[in-house]
A and B are shown apart, each in its own frame.
Chain A
Amino acid sequence: MSTVTKADPASPAGSASPLHQRRPLGDRGFQIVALGAGLLVLVILVLITYTTAQQSTTWFAGGFKDIFQVAFDGNTKFGAMGVLYGTVISSVIGVIIGVPVSVGIALLLTQVVPARWARPFVYVMDLLAVVPSVVWGLWGIIVLVPWLQKIYLDIASGVKGIPVLDSLFGGPNVTGASFFTAGLILAIMITPIITSLSREVIATVPDIDKEGAYALGATRWEVIRGAVWPHSQGGVTGAILIGFGRAMGETIAVALVIGDSVEVTPHLFYSGHSIAAIIALQFGEATGGEFRSALIGLGLFLFVLTILVNLVARWFVERSARRARGG
């Protein structure tokens, strides 16, 4: 995009023409309405911060030590650490599993499959994207969890006594609804967004770079490593971070498959909890006082966390888009 087109033809430069001065009232009104609609985004974001902060003062008044304890029992202990741990661990598992798959598909669709055959593949990814969270959760709790439970138990007995693996995949409380199951579901759910954002970034790699590499005799993989990857690295990093943010905020599917116990443990096959899940499952029972205040405070916590992740992610994406334009 050239900057020349930015000149506004409705307000010509130079001497103020009579036409320019006689701007109809409706025209001005329309501009104000449009501006108002745009400002609504900022207003909502500010109001979310303000109202949730205001409603969670009781919880924050408890002090640093109360807020950052592990336990959350809905009675006297309202710690953020346990649920925060579950949010981060399940999202990290989701990213570790989801990213190679997503980036692989993005490369497949841009570098391997010819453009005119790519459409059916994109449809499949769209299909994956529109399956609602609660349907993944339903499938997770009724089909996946009982099936995974057997596999987890087999793995747990297999790694018994092996130092690191035992504390990650073993232990006596191994169960189907666990951090790892939540991570698996999250991996499926964040794959479409990471794939589509990565595809957009990879599509901006100049053909001349790729053709140059091919002309030097590089294989397709060498072209990807040498020409495509250096160019799209930043944007793909942004896409991964956006996927990570989505995973942290994902509520219903996680609430159904992560189990229902707040703890900090290295055992990935143990049941846990996440910030979003605990709000979804317990807000109805929290009719007042510190309980409700704590859940709203956790919501604010999650909000700020995802905003920060998204800010960094968008910065990566926009920087790489600027570079692609050569700016």
Chain B
Amino acid sequence: MMAAISDSLARPVDLREPSGWRRSKNQIMTILMWLAFVIVLIPLGFVLVTLVAKGAAAISWQFLTNSTIPPNVVPLGTGGMGAAVVGTLEVTGFASLLAIPLGVLGAVYLNEYGGNRILARLISFMSNVMTGVPSIVMGLFIFIIWVTHFGYSGLAGSFALACLMLPIVIRSSYEMLILVPDSLRQGSYALGASKARVTLTVVLPAALSGIVSGALLAVARAAGETAPVLFTMLTVEQTNANLFSGPNTTLPFQIFMNAQSAYTGANARAWGAALTLVAITFILMIAARIITALFTRNAR
């Protein structure tokens, strides 16, 4: 034992280059980590390629704008998804109108007013938990409190999506408000501004780009949701521009319905609608990224 130690001390040891099994193990583990990333790339690449290949064939100006969704048996070329495109924009748009201001205000309460109070900590914790509530539960909830009294409408779908977006917007805005330096607030108070004024004219503008980018990601998430609109809006075959009355439809809903069909025409329409939907969500995500990137460059 002693001999072995003195022996190893006598020889110069290269500390940077562990040898033998330790080194191989390190290399194997590094390869496995890269492999994990490649494993994720496979389904993503697969789904995107299929989506473009099958969806591009279906998409045309008529497909995007024609307001009559044909029955499942009709082959591609007749009618289009215009009703669903209009529905998606209206329903998601109104949901954003509800959830983004309320979410930002909620975050303002948590960071500017709540402090370390029990209520603020409870709201903060529960908003985190609420991001994990299944979207189908939101659909059931709005069905019970709204649809059973006032009937199916785009508005009901908006409410369900807004419930889903609210905690996401609260969380993302809160993360951004934390980053606003206190010196900004103190400087404004020193000028005699009230708290509401400081929040509205100094704190929120300072965090604006982060809040907008977080909100856009929430909109992207809501635009792709099917479960909350499933039994709050029913469905229509003709464009219903009136958000507040009568059944409506969205792209995710149409994809869900057409995916279950055995007819090739319906499947093709599902792929076309899916490509349209993914394009919308990607555009929202890229917009969010660009805003974040611009902001970080300005901050530097």
Contacts and interface: CB of A to CB of B under 8 A. Distances in A.
Contact of B137 (A26, A249, A309): A249
Nearest to A5: B182
A266 interface: no
Interface in B91-145: 102-103, 105-106, 108-110, 112-116, 120, 122-123, 125-130, 132-138, 140-141, 143-145
Interface stretch (A139-147, A148-156, A157-165): A139-147
B295 interface: no
Contacts of A276: 134, 136, 227
A139 B47 contact: yes
A51 B145 contact: yes
B189 interface: yes
Interface residues of B, number: 98
Contact of A34 (B34, B113, B255, B285): B113
Contact of A44 (B50, B108, B130, B224): B130
B290 interface: no
B120 A38 contact: yes
Nearest to A246: B132
Interface stretch (A71-79, A101-109, A167-175, A201-209): A101-109
Nearest to B34: A108
Interface of B is mostly: helix
A186 to B, nearest CB: 12
Contacts of A211: none
B230 A283 contact: yes
Nearest to B288: A126
Interface string B247-291: 000001001100110000001001100100110011011000100
A142 B36 CA distance: 25
B30 interface: yes
A303 B139 CA distance: 12
Interface residues of A, number: 95
A245 interface: yes
B202 to A, nearest CB: 12
A24 B26 contact: no
B57 interface: no
Contacts of A280: 136, 226-227, 230
A35 interface: yes
A9 B189 contact: yes
A105 B128 CA distance: 24
B130 A47 contact: no
Interface in B174-219: 182, 185-186, 189, 192, 194-200, 217
A41 interface: yes
A131 B278 contact: yes
A130 B221 contact: yes
A252 interface: yes
A10 B284 CA distance: 38
B35 interface: yes
Nearest to B185: A9
A194 B100 CA distance: 25
B37 A130 contact: no
A51 B225 CA distance: 22
Given A42-B123, A48-B141, A296-B144, A124 B44 contact: yes
A51 B260 contact: no
Contacts of B198: 10
Given A34-B113, A41-B126, A221 B25 contact: yes
B77 interface: no
Interface of A is mostly: helix
A170 B7 CA distance: 58
Contact of B226 (A8, A107, A134): A134
B39 interface: yes
Contact of B30 (A41, A137, A221, A246): A221
B32 interface: yes
Given A10-B195, A48-B141, A141-B259, A299 B136 contact: yes
A142 to B, nearest CB: 6
B150 to A, nearest CB: 15
B176 to A, nearest CB: 15
B93 to A, nearest CB: 17
A117 interface: no
Contacts of A29: 196
Interface string A232-251: 00000000001001101111
Interface of A: 5-6, 8-10, 19, 23-24, 26-27, 29-31, 33-42, 44-45, 47-48, 51-52, 55, 100-105, 107-108, 112, 121, 123-128, 130-139, 141-143, 188, 191, 217, 219-222, 224, 242, 245-246, 248-252, 255-256, 276, 279-280, 283-284, 295-296, 299, 302-303, 306-307, 309-311, 313-314, 318
Interface of B: 15, 18, 22-23, 25-26, 29-30, 32-37, 39-41, 43-44, 46-47, 50-51, 102-103, 105-106, 108-110, 112-116, 120, 122-123, 125-130, 132-138, 140-141, 143-145, 163, 166-167, 170, 182, 185-186, 189, 192, 194-200, 217, 220-221, 223-227, 230-231, 252, 255-256, 259-260, 267, 270-271, 274, 277-278, 281-282, 284-285, 289
Given A9-B189, A30-B196, A121-B37, 12 more contacts: A19-B192, A23-B194, A24-B194, A37-B102, A105-B33, A130-B285, A133-B226, A137-B256, A255-B256, A299-B136, A299-B137, A314-B128
